[in-house]
Amino acid sequence: MEAKKLLMIVNPKAGRSKSRGPLYDAAAIFSQAGYLLSIHNTTPEPGDAAAAAAAAGGVYDAVAAVGGDGTLNEVVSGLMSLEHPPLLGYLPQGSTNDFASSLRLPSKPQEAAAAMTAAVPRKLDVGRWNERYFVYVASFGAFTRTSYTATQAAKNALGHFAYILEGMKDVGSLRPYRIKLTADGETLDGEYLFGAVCNSTSIGGLMKLDPERVVLDDGKFELLLIPNPRTAADLQNLVVALLNQEYDREGLVLRHVSSIHLETEEDLPWSLDGEYAPSLPVVDIENRRQALEMLL
């Protein structure tokens, strides 16, 4: 029987404070499972992981992203350029790993590798944001910038706390954004502090969605919009609803949708899986249902 081929795309900067030993253990596990293993260490150049993944088409049976959510985003973007992408694996090595938490993936590389070799391929929806892709969340508004402005050194040293510290800088500049959004035929026109289109139970590590409501391969995203509170009482009620994860009250908008068309005249930067995306007057988001197969 011909051996299977696996490409590990490793971001050496992700979780730099972590020992490299477990990655060698993970590589040994893949080898023992019958994979012929190749390793690509990414360069600091943006897009390197995506290019490596795109080059894997027709060469490898599986590609494993080894790093944080940003590394996974690049690998998925590269695979989405292929007509017949190989299987996807993920060994989380970043500082927050929101998507890995949603998937309940082991945080230790050797355990994630063992789970990957024993897994049955599972279909995974992928989001398309204009011409770019995202795996688990596209967001705008309050605290969105913290995902891509916290330095790598701070994330490695402080982990989740780095995002909280960075987010505190934004508190004084919270402001509403006027948008017009059409989601599966429903139009919403108003001012919102925050918006997210996600396929995950965790958004920025700060907000959690009920796992019973998030299905990774149903062709639907979870759309969450936080409206601009008009009074101090509205703000208090909004905070309580968010803290209690009660997303169906106090004017919060939670929908399950397959496509979104958003228009705005505001300067509205986005974050795609924690990576910066510039403001655009028109954004179209669609769910590419079951676009990839992932070893989970």
Asked if 216 and 290 touch (Cβ cutoff 8 Å), the reply is: no
**Active site members:** 275
Question: Taking Cα atoms as reference points, which of 7, 136, 143 lies closest to residue 73?
Answer: 136
Which tokens in the block code for residue 122? Answer: 């599972």
User: Terminus-to-terminus CA distance in the chain, angstroms?
Assistant: 24
Which tokens in the block code for residue 17? Answer: 């404070």
